[in-house]
Structure 1
Amino acid sequence: MRLCVCFVLLSIILCASADSALARGGRFVWDALGGAKDMYRAYRDMREANYKGADKYFHARGNYDAAKRGPGGAWAARVLSDAREKWQSDVSGRGAEDTRADQEANRWGRNGGDPNRYRPAGLPSKY
């Protein structure tokens, strides 16, 4: 996770420095940092809930919350989601079907879809 956060921060700095409008670049960076925080909060909640069948809900929720922040948040959500799924498919050995389903939930949330589409019955209302 720390490697992903470092990657996101470095990418944000590079993207923001390429933007000629400092204010717009600053907003992008701020939104991207907030988006990374949203993604981490969804990941932390998923681990804490440890609820069978809730994985896709937390994917969609993290992407949804991050993308609501604007282009920077949506960018951070895409980068983190893609990096996590790449790692998961390469290292953890989880199948292509699981990766495809996770990415579908990621895109759904990032495009403004209601994360509750993936909410499993019985998941505590805290989440």
Structure 2
Amino acid sequence: MRCVIALLAVASLVSVVTAEPEPLWDRVRNAARNVWEFPGEVRRGTGAMIKAYKDMREANYIGADKYFHSRGNYDAAKHGAGGRFAATVISNARELTDTLRGKGGSDSARDQEANRWGRNGGDPNRYRPRGLPEKY
């Protein structure tokens, strides 16, 4: 964990040095705030992904997979850069394990498209199947 925080601090400082329009002190302050808030964002984003997974398992609805992929990423990304990071890592890990088990291919590519759609702020309802209960 210390290594991750150190890497984030270095990355934030690099962005401070290379950024342009903001005054230097504002860039330093914002970078420090981002490093401080990032772990909490990761935790909340991970929680959003877990909730979407649990909802998918509970719904057990044929054709809803892409919707829950998109919704989990969408909800996680709302928690900031850390949430987007968590969504990306979890989504990629899931698709990698599917590929290693021989379940990859075109379905994995469609899953990743739904993941990116949600993570980039797209409406998850694009993938919502007809008849899925409103609870989800």
TM value normalised by structure 2: 0.79
AA aligned to 1:61 is R
Other-structure match for 1:120: 129
Kept in 2: contact 1:56–1:102 (CA 8 A) = yes
How far apart in 1 are the matches of 2:89 and 2:115? 11
AA aligned to 2:132 is L
1:53 Cα deviation after fit? 0.2
AA aligned to 1:30 is G
Aligned length: 118
Kept in 2: contact 1:60–1:115 (CA 8 A) = yes
How far apart in 2 are the matches of 1:39 and 1:11? 24
Larger radius of gyration: 2
Change in Cα spacing, 1:83 to 1:47, as seen in structure 2 (3 Å) is: same
How far apart in 2 are the matches of 1:124 and 1:11? 43
Q: How does 1:61-72 map to 2 (within 5 A)?
A: 61-72=71-82
Kept in 2: contact 1:16–1:29 (CA 8 A) = no
Q: CA RMSD in A?
A: 1.9
Q: How does 1:77-96 map to 2 (within 5 A)?
A: 77-91=87-101, 93-96=102-105
Change in Cα spacing, 1:45 to 1:13, as seen in structure 2 (3 Å) is: farther
* Residue 103 in structure 1 maps to residue 112 in structure 2: yes
Other-structure match for 1:6: none
Kept in 2: contact 1:16–1:26 (CA 8 A) = no
1:112 Cα deviation after fit? 0.3
AA aligned to 1:52 is I
Identity %: 56
Kept in 2: contact 1:12–1:32 (CA 8 A) = no
How far apart in 1 are the matches of 2:2 and 2:99? 24
Gaps of 5+ in 2: 14-30
How far apart in 2 are the matches of 1:105 and 1:83? 15
Change in Cα spacing, 1:12 to 1:120, as seen in structure 2 (3 Å) is: farther
AA aligned to 1:119 is R
